[in-house]
Amino acid sequence: MTETLISVVIPAYNYSQTLPRAVESVLAQLVEGRTELLVIDDGSTDATPDVLAELLTVHVGRFRALRKTNGGQSSARNLGIEEATGRYLVFLDADDEMAPGALAALIHHITRNPESRLIIGGHWSVFADGKRSFQGVRPLPATARQRVRGYLFDKTVSISNGACAMHRDVFAPGNYPEHLRNVEDIPVFAQVLARFPCSVLDQPLALIYKHADSMRHDLVRSLAAGTGMVDEVFSHERLPEELHDLRQAFLVQRCLSLFRDCYVGGEYVLAKKFYLQALRADWRVLARWSYTRKAARLLFR
């Protein structure tokens, strides 16, 4: 019996309008016996159960769907890890699409790079006006430290769900943290870059749709994750001890990210709090003018 090589997992919560697009983009390129599709309904309260029932009727036996009590994106992905049969997993958001030819390209890449445990691909960003922008991938740095720095600080390593495939071995240090409802993928991607062989595939694997109205919703979830996310990233289970000297710098980066999100979202009191926390952690924050200019406006209001 041929082993399932790739499982595509779509966590779905209240995306009934876009879910058919996501599902059909995967079904169009499944390779029987080598790939599979699994949809996890994370306790949706909209028409998602009815949409899934119709899709299962139209595409009899071509994919599986499970429904669970709402627990957030992390819990849906973790159930996907448990239930999927593939060696590699692709987590595609329910409002995005798998790019044409993505599965064939991944199969070919895995065949040529069997040691790779994370395959980072490119994607198309699709904006509300219909315009698209291709986001390619750069060659990966040679060392684990350089890869983790590139991902957490320098932004030279970019990874997007739906546009990457992960071997199930990479979840041994830790699954998706279910107490985080935002930025939950950062601890996972960091641990993979730190501990496992990785490779790049410079072609689009997904179409990722950008939503102009999501800022406020994202801010609420970002604040819930707060700076506690730093502890999750730098837990001893996830990152090797020799990388823990990067923790302080990442705390500063996280505070500045929260400052920016609060500033843009009009939460000026919170924005001031996070900037001062970053400044207390490292006075060199003052030299980061894009943040300091905004902070000065708040501090002298």
Mean pLDDT computed over every residue of the chain: 94
Angle, in degrees to the nearest 10, between helices 247-264 and 268-281: 160
pLDDT band at 1 (very low <50, low <70, confident <90, very high): very low
pLDDT at 215: 40
Q: CB-based contacts of 38: which residues, under 8 Å, 6+ apart? A: 7, 8, 9, 10, 63, 64, 65, 66, 80, 83, 84
Say whether pLDDT at 11 is over 50: yes
What whole-number distance in Å separates Cα of residue 11 and Cα of residue 91? 8
Q: CB-based contacts of 112: which residues, under 8 Å, 6+ apart? A: none
More confident residue, 2 or 29: 29
Query: Residues for the chain: how many in total?
Result: 301
Say whether pLDDT at 216 is over 80: no
Helices (H), the chain: 19-27, 48-58, 73-83, 102-112, 144-149, 185-195, 215-225, 228-233, 247-264, 268-281, 289-299
Q: Is the Cβ–Cβ distance between 185 and 161 less than 8 Å?
A: yes
Q: pLDDT per residue over 116-173, tens digit each?
A: 999 999 999 999 888 999 999 999 999 999 999 999 998 899 999 999 999 999 999 9
pLDDT at 213: 52
Q: pLDDT per residue over 22-77, tens digit each?
A: 999 999 999 999 999 999 999 999 999 999 999 999 999 999 999 999 999 999 99
Q: Which two tokens stand for residue 194?
A: 């730190």
What are the residue boundaries of the structural domains of the chain, listed by start?
A: 6-212, 216-299
pTM, full prediction: 0.93
What whole-number distance in Å separates Cα of residue 10 and Cα of residue 191? 22
pLDDT at 211: 75
Say whether pLDDT at 263 is over 90: yes
Q: CB-based contacts of 215: which residues, under 8 Å, 6+ apart? A: 264, 265
Neighbouring C-alpha atoms within 13 Å toward the C-beta of 248: 8
pLDDT at 300: 77
Say whether pLDDT at 2 is over 80: no
Query: What amino acid is encoded at 258 in this protein?
Result: L
pLDDT at 182: 83
Lowest-confidence region among 79-83, 113-117, 217-221? 217-221
Burial bucket for residue 144 (CB in 10 Å: 0-12, 13-18, 19+): middle
CA-closest candidate to residue 164, choices 142, 126, 135: 135
What is the separation of C-alpha 212 from the centre of its chain, rounded to a whole number of angstroms?
Answer: 18
CATH fold label, 6-212: Spore Coat Polysaccharide Biosynthesis Protein SpsA; Chain A (3.90.550)
What average pLDDT does the segment 256-279 reach?
Answer: 93
CA-closest candidate to residue 226, choices 244, 190, 251: 251
Q: pLDDT per residue over 273-298, tens digit each?
A: 999 999 999 999 999 999 999 999 98
Q: pLDDT per residue over 164-208, tens digit each?
A: 999 999 999 999 999 988 889 999 999 999 999 999 999 999 999
